[in-house]
Amino acid sequence: MGEAEKFQALNEARFCQRILAKSGDTVLSATLREAATLEEWKHVPAGDVFDPETGAQWYYHCHPKLPETAEHGHFHCFVRPRGRDGPVHHLIALSVDAHGNLLRLFTVNQWVVGDDWCDAGATSALLPRFDVQLGRPSYLVNRWLTAVVRYYADEVSALIGQRDATISAHCPADPQSARQDRALEVTSQLAVSLP
């Protein structure tokens, strides 16, 4: 990604945060607004967000709170290049704190999200398709997610490459079984924040 595109993505992410803040909202509060309750592991919104034009899909959820982490939960970002009924490919997860501030980017093993596996090259090639242009559940959250994935596209691509290397190293003789090994969950991660 060129510097001009990175700058544009960063400005869009900041713009979304600024407009949300003017209403007393954050990326997180806007995401959770329509959720009656927040239950651990439950997708918000129910049924996920899916843009039929681009195949981009996302959901937010949280895990049981660990005292050593500031993470409230995370957004899982996917692409379905052949539409809602086609294969789904996990790109990246974006971790946020209780104020909606970005904390880290991370990839997960296949069993975590049950996606259709693509190697790093094919997965990274899908990154430009993650473009959510929908009014619901929040246009600003959809655009913020799109902008963050674009801004960190080079880092996300590197993390996807590390994902494959981690899985291969975990079980060199059988990477396919390594992708289903529940002892391996997070396959790569990077602490980040929007500048």
* Amino acid at the residue 95: S
Q: Taking the CB of residue 49, how many other CB atoms lie within 10 A of it?
A: 23
Digit-by-digit pLDDT tens for the chain (195 residues) are 789 999 999 999 999 999 999 999 999 999 998 776 677 778 889 889 999 999 999 999 988 776 677 899 999 999 999 999 999 999 999 999 999 999 999 999 999 999 999 999 999 999 999 999 999 999 999 999 999 999 999 999 999 999 999 999 998 888 889 999 999 999 999 999 998
> Which single residue is written with the structure tokens 């655009």?
143
- Into how many domains does the chain fold? 1
DSSP helix/strand/coil, 155:
helix
Joined tokens for residue 69: 């982490």
3-state DSSP: the chain helix, strand, coil percent, rounded to 5? 40, 25, 40
The structure's pTM equals 0.94
Q: Domain containing 83: what range?
A: 3-191
